[in-house]
Structure 1
Amino acid sequence: MTSVSFTLHPRLNADCIVAGDWPLSRLLLMNDSRYPWYILVPRRNDVREIHELDAADQTQLFRESMILSRALAQAYKGDKLNIAALGNVVPQLHMHHIVRFTTDAAWPSPVWGKHPAKPYSEGEALAQIERLLPRLELPLMPLRTVAPAVTPPADQ
């Protein structure tokens, strides 16, 4: 763990609801109820690419991604799970995990920019996180601070 305070990119802070922390990553729920969409953000400042993490952090990120992927598969039984670390808009390293269904609003295209986000109500966001929690093989550490208010995400 680093002793330097971690800062979440303002765009991720505005577009997402914080679910909690794992040893390396902060787990976020994208505030778009059209898709079960979670994001892992390694809590390392000034890192843009996976190869910039040290070997131990790379291994931990992969482990956390696989734990999240299995939990999403169990919780949602989607047709496909899209995992991406693009960083074209938000330079801070983050990995999208998006459950896709052949019946979803953007299928088979990528979700980015296809439709305006449909924000969760506060209760719906909490229900999505609670749906995932019992399926996670690694418990999340709750944050001491309150997660940001549920607000509509900006266009991806």
Structure 2
Amino acid sequence: MSARLQPGDPAPAFTLPDADGKPVSLADHAGRRVIVYFYPAALTPGCTKQACDFTDNLELLAGAGYDVIGVSPDAPEKLAKFRTKEDLRVTLVSDPEKETLRAYGAFGEKTMYGRTVTGVIRSTVIVDGEGKVERALYNVRATGHVAKLIKDLGLQSP
């Protein structure tokens, strides 16, 4: 199992292709806070709900200085389909080798329907403007997570 990140840890650097195949790096967001969230699969009910929640709150988050990047093992083509079908505005990146997922502690053993399986652990890591982990949340719920995150960050909905 990959080690989980703790507040104060340096956030692992990454460069991954987005839904259009263009490279996206954590370094591209230097000086801004970044919410990096990890989800198992595009076009599934829970992941769709979570991505739509982030999209619905993108203006609030961006206004408070946060960029949002969603990471999954899906191919860029599937991410493009997901983005179009659900009208998503968050940046979605592809990690088919699961290197970034592992580096962030978001891939490993988890319990699903009472069985232990290996896969993506739904997680959210908030990286500060200096590239350090501000918060690392693991095994988050797809539904209600974004609302809880906004509340925990002290951001109020308009």
Q: Same fold (TM over 0.5)?
A: no
In terms of fraction of residues, the more strand-rich structure is 2
TM (normalized to structure 2)?
Answer: 0.30
